[in-house]
């Protein structure tokens, strides 16, 4: 079993290796495999990139990303401008479904509200606005309404697992209750666990995913 000190060492090395991350402004602590990130970065994409870097490390069982986004004064923008750019981005990325999303901006923080039929639409809405200038955070309150039976959801998720080379489908059990999915079993890395969760969320009709998969390096 990998120790917390070894995980911390590997996380710090991975962050230092990333040219987009300024490691001197980020703090790393580890307890029972859960990595806590603190400090600050100058853009929202950098915050998410740091989280992606951490999830690659063997032995990581969870990530608490408390990094603060501190925009340089030159990059700060009025909320109305950010809102207009967000609406434009949604129209481009979701030309059919963008009308179902409402955008609220408060001090550079975007809140998305509304209802979608697919989880990937909800994720696409958020991803389309993360990189906008002046954005320091996003809260995605868009809900997904079920459009498929539990049996159909289970079948599609299991098929997705079998297609994905990053997932050992034989070690994961899928249970469905309405639009809720429960994943059980074991995988070797945090990345594989998150990939299974992502695949489950991609199925039509999924409204909630409980990821109970354990990590056994």
Would you say the C-alpha torsion 21, 23, 24, 30 has a positive or negative sign?
positive
Strands 143-144 and 109-116 come out as parallel
Task: State which H helix or E strand residue 115 sits in.
Answer: strand 109-116
In the chain, helix, strand, coil percent, each to 5?
Answer: 40, 30, 30
Q: Which two tokens stand for residue 135?
A: 């954005």
Q: What is the pLDDT of residue 203?
A: 82
By the 8 A CB rule, do 207 and 153 touch? no
Would you say the C-alpha torsion 33, 38, 42, 48 has a positive or negative sign?
positive
Q: Name the pTM for this structure.
A: 0.63
Q: What is the pLDDT of residue 2?
A: 86
* 109-113-119-121 Cα dihedral, nearest 10 degrees: -80
Beta-bridge partner residues of 140: 112
**Best CA proximity match to 128, nearest among 155, 101, 153:** 101
pLDDT tens-place values along the chain, 217 residues long:
789 999 999 999 999 999 888 888 999 999 999 999 999 999 999 999 999 999 989 999 899 999 999 998 888 999 999 999 999 999 999 998 888 999 999 999 999 999 887 888 899 999 999 999 999 999 999 988 766 788 888 888 989 888 887 777 788 999 998 888 999 999 888 888 888 998 898 887 788 899 999 988 7
Cα distance between residue 51 and residue 54, in whole Å: 5
By the 8 A CB rule, do 101 and 114 touch? yes
**Best CA proximity match to 138, nearest among 152, 150, 124:** 124
- Helix runs in the chain, H state only: 4-17, 44-55, 79-93, 119-130, 150-163, 190-201
Would you say the C-alpha torsion 35, 36, 42, 44 has a positive or negative sign?
positive
Beta-bridge partner residues of 37: 28, 65
By the 8 A CB rule, do 14 and 21 touch? no
- Domain 150-215 of CATH type 3.30.1340.30: yes
Q: What is the pLDDT of residue 160?
A: 87
Q: Which two tokens stand for residue 157?
A: 């998720």
Report, at the CATH architecture level, how domain 4-69 is classified: 2-Layer Sandwich (3.30)
Cα distance between residue 81 and residue 188, in whole Å: 45
Q: Specify the CATH class of 74-144 in words.
A: alpha beta
Within the chain, all domains assigned CATH 3.30.1340.30 are found at 4-69, 74-144, 150-215
């Amino acid at each position: 079993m990998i120790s917390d000190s070894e995980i911390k060492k590997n996380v710090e090395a991975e962050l230092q290796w990333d040219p987009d991350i300024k490691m001197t402004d980020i703090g790393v602590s580890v307890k029972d495999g859960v990595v806590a990130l603190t400090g600050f970065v100058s853009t929202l994409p950098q915050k998410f990139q740091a989280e992606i870097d951490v999830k690659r490390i063997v032995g990581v069982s969870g990530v608490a990303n408390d990094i603060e986004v501190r925009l340089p004064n030159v990059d700060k923008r009025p909320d109305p401008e950010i809102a207009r750019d967000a609406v434009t981005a949604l129209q481009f990325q979701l030309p059919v479904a963008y009308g179902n999303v409402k955008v609220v901006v408060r001090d550079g923080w975007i809140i998305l509200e509304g209802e979608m039929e697919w989880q990937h639409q909800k994720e696409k809405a958020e991803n389309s606005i993360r990189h906008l200038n002046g954005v320091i955070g996003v809260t995605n309150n868009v809900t997904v309404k079920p459009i498929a039976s539990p049996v159909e959801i289970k079948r599609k998720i299991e098929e997705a697992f079998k297609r994905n080379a990053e997932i050992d489908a034989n070690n994961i059990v899928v249970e469905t209750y309405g639009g809720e999915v429960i994943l059980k079993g074991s995988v070797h890395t945090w990345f594989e666990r998150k990939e299974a969760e992502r695949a489950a969320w991609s199925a039509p009709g999924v409204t909630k995913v409980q990821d109970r998969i354990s990590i056994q390096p």
